[in-house]
Structure 1
Amino acid sequence: MAGSEAQDLWNTKLEPPVLQILTGSEPITYATHTAVYSAGYNYILAGKGNNNNCRDLYASVKLFFSDYTQRISAKASSDDSSLPAYYDAEWDRFSRGVEIVNRLLDYLNRHYVNRERDEGKKAIITVRNLAFVSWKTNVFESLLPRLENTEEADKTQLETIRQCFASEELKADSIKNMHVQAAHAS
């Protein structure tokens, strides 16, 4: 199966519900969840061990998270005083959504990521970590200079977030405490 098939699968069956989850517009139904999971799972199994199916789908997911987080950063207000509140609200929505998407695309983690990592390819990371690396690069690092110059952002908290992102894998308790405003960080 060619890379265009993975892209078609992503564009038509997987991306729309993933966007719905990440934007928090409304929860996906059980039927949608089952259909999405099955479509991806069947695509991978159709390759009968051919790693290209998994690699192509993984590339689509990686590109999606990169583009999605770039759009979040681009939508940030030019008013720096409102930036910390925007960042925290987007972080809440994104981090909650990523946990759901990671479970939804678990077959990719099991059938591709784990195998690649077992073979020593440490650059291949879980769907969850792909999302958080994209956030770190495209949102946190992009907005950090502006956040550091606002009174509303807790400077100690910014350093804590920087250290959390430097770790190999974010822990669930760290994710809950990665707000830039002191009122949220607890």
Structure 2
Amino acid sequence: MNKMKLRGIGLAVALGLGSIAMVGCTTTPAGSEASGPTARAAMDRDADATLSRLYSTVPGTREMVQRAAGVLVFPAVVGGSFVVGAEHGRGALREGGRTTGYYSTTAGSIGFQAGGQSKAVVYVFNTAEALQKFKNSNGWTAGADATVAVGKIGANGSVDTETVKQAVSSFILTNVGLEAGAAVGAAKVTRISL
């Protein structure tokens, strides 16, 4: 084989190994994967904090969530990538202000990318039908099992009226605030036991 071909193969192997190593890297504190009452209480606290942050970042979302059939809150979706990317997080489903279940989300992507990040993802089920379809599913995928509208801010700085009219809306929060126009992609959501 010529040197160029060997270098190409070597680079591909290095990128592949780097991708695997990046997926294993997270900023999740040790012990956060625990289960039982402590894990549920911690998840509920984190979901409360995420919702409070959403309410202070996007005026009108508190009222939107109060009128919604349910809200699914993932306080920390951690992703790592180097050519191949993966994201994972755990969250709580709230109905009428109380937690009714716990879920995990996982998404992957392929393409030129590098780095890692953490973000909060909130799905608002604006209709009872959308929430029931989600709860009856055996693994729900955003975009495939339901159209998920990106939460938008209107000219007045509050949540856009069209966002409230959608069956399912999503909001993505980063360290700097709302990630405007960011879609959730094909995130797979599955019920878990904590």
Larger radius of gyration: 2
More strand by share: 2
Report the TM-score when normalising by structure 1: 0.30
